[in-house]
Each structure stands twice: as C-alpha cells, then as structure tokens.
Amino acid sequence: GAGVSQSPSNKVTEKGKDVELRCDPISGHTALYWYRQSLGQGLEFLIYFQGNSAPDKSGLPSDRFSAERTGGSVSTLTIQRTQQEDSAVYLCASSLQGSEDAFFGQGTRLTVV
Amino acid sequence: AQSVTQLGSHVSVSEGALVLLRCNYSSSVPPYLFWYVQYPNQGLQLLLKYTTGATLVKGINGFEAEFKKSETSFHLTKPSAHMSDAAEYFCAVSVVPFSGGYNKLIFGAGTRLAVHP
C-alpha cells in the first residue's frame, strides 16, 4: 500500500479480554516499530522488528504484551488480559533497513472499559 | 541515557507570527534529532531531521531547525504561522547509535501549537 496501515482504527474492549492490533507496513520496509502514545507516559517505544525477528523488545511493559511478524511484512501486537492502563493509541512505523526515516501509521486507539 | 525536553506543552501564536518550539536533548553519543508533527487523529509525520553535516536543516511546510551542540538544543522555527500549522509537535532523539542499523526514538512530551487569526 501507499502508507503504513493499522487496524482496527478504534477498539473498545472489556478489562481482562485479549486484543490483537495489526500493522501492515510499507511494502519493502524490513524495519518495523511499535510505539504507544498515552496521556500519562507520552510516546514510548515498545518493540523493533528486523524482518521477522525482534532484536529489541525492551519497551514491552509487561509479559501481557507480545508481538510477532510474519513473512517480513504484517505485524500483530497482542495484549492479553487487558487492563485500564493499557488504554492508549498504539502506533506502528516502518522504514527501509538502515534508514532513519520512519513512516507512521494512523494508530489504533484502544480503550479498555 | 538519552532524553528530550520540550519547553511549553502549549504554544499559541497569531497567524503570520513567528513560530518557535523549543527542544533540548541529552545524549551520550552524537545525536540524530527529529521533529514530527501530528494532526488530530493521525499518525506522526516527519517534518525534518538532523543527522550529520549542516546544522541548519530545512523541512516541509516552511519549518526549519538548528542543531546547537553547545546548547544541546534543536529548536523548531517557522517565520510566519499559518492556520494549517495547528497541530502537536514532537521532538525526538535517536537512542541507538545509528550504526546499530535501526532508529529507536525517544520522544519529548510534545507541544500543542494553536494558531489564531
């Protein structure tokens, strides 16, 4: 596609449920990043993928958070047993390997009620 | 450890006035510095970046920023504000030395710019 695509754009879930957030990067971009934007914490790094592997997952806040990437393309961020503090906008970005120019998607707004 | 401080969570200017958004950074390695803009309900868009070389960098929409190592600053300016500039602006520093091959960003808290007629 022309840009980074994220789905769903909005997600409301009940506390304790699992959610999956999807990111479809720009074609050919082997580097993929997840960030979280929340009122209390601002914009924070979660995880980086190089191809299908994640050499840096230092920003994942707890073991309830996991992510995978398949075929060097689509990535899924999974949050298990959601809590209210997980409410945030989850942003995905991609770039060419070795480039400092990251292109961001529009984000998924997650609300845990 | 790297960090970014943006002075002023809200800035208000009149249309046609100078825009100045302040950013100071802390980095243990030569930094890569970025300004991103976020319009309502949208993702982040890269405005401009400093990596190496010329310290005055020009970006899209008439914005520019100057890297001042002695002041550890990377302030964003635009000579004449337009109504369409109203948005949230984020300054960021690259955490991992780019020789690592990826660009892990530390963001400031953001500055919301309002432009009044």
- State pLDDT tens for residues A88-102: 999 999 999 888 889
Q: Is residue A74 scored above 90 in pLDDT? A: yes
Task: Tell me the average pLDDT across A27-31.
Answer: 93
A25 touches chain B (CB under 8 A): no
Residue B43, judged by CB atoms within 10 A of its CB (0-12, 13-18, 19+), counts as: buried
A106 with B109: Cβ contact below 8 A: no
Give the angle A33-A6-B90 at the CA atoms, nearest 5°: 55
Could you tell me which chain A residue has the CA closest to the CA of B38?
A: A106
Within 8 A of A93 by CB-CB distance, chain B residues are 43-44
A42 with B51: Cβ contact below 8 A: no
Identify whether the C-beta of residue A29 lies closer than 8 Å to the C-beta of residue A95: yes
Number of H helices, E strands in chain A: 0, 11
- Could you read off the pLDDT of B57-115 as tens digits, one per residue? 999 999 999 999 999 999 999 999 999 999 999 999 986 655 567 888 999 999 999 99
Chain B contacts to A (CB-CB under 8 A): 32, 34, 36, 41-46, 49, 51, 90, 92, 94-96, 98, 101-110
Instruction: Look at chain A and count its residues.
Output: 113
Residue B98 has a pLDDT of 56
Select from A26, A20, A18 the least CA-distant residue to A8.
Answer: A20
A89: tokens are 């906008």
What is the DSSP-derived secondary structure letter of residue A27? T
Residue A2 has a pLDDT of 80
% of residues, chain A, pLDDT over 70: 99
What is the DSSP-derived secondary structure letter of residue B101? S
What is the DSSP-derived secondary structure letter of residue B70? T
Give the angle A15-A94-A58 at the CA atoms, nearest 5°: 55
Q: For residue A107, is it left (φ>0), alpha (ψ between -120 and 50) or beta? A: left
B103 with A50: Cβ contact below 8 A: no
Q: Is residue A107 scored above 90 in pLDDT? A: yes
* A70-83: burial string, b at 16+ Cβ within 10 Å, e else: eebbebebebeebe
Identify whether the C-beta of residue A78 lies closer than 8 Å to the C-beta of residue A19: yes
- Measure A69 CA to nearest chain B CA, in Å: 17
Residue B80 has a pLDDT of 97
- Could you read off the pLDDT of B20-45 as tens digits, one per residue? 999 999 988 888 999 999 998 888 99
Q: Which of A4, A55, A100 sits opposite B32 (nearest CB)?
A: A100
Residue A53 pLDDT level (bands cut at 50, 70, 90): very high
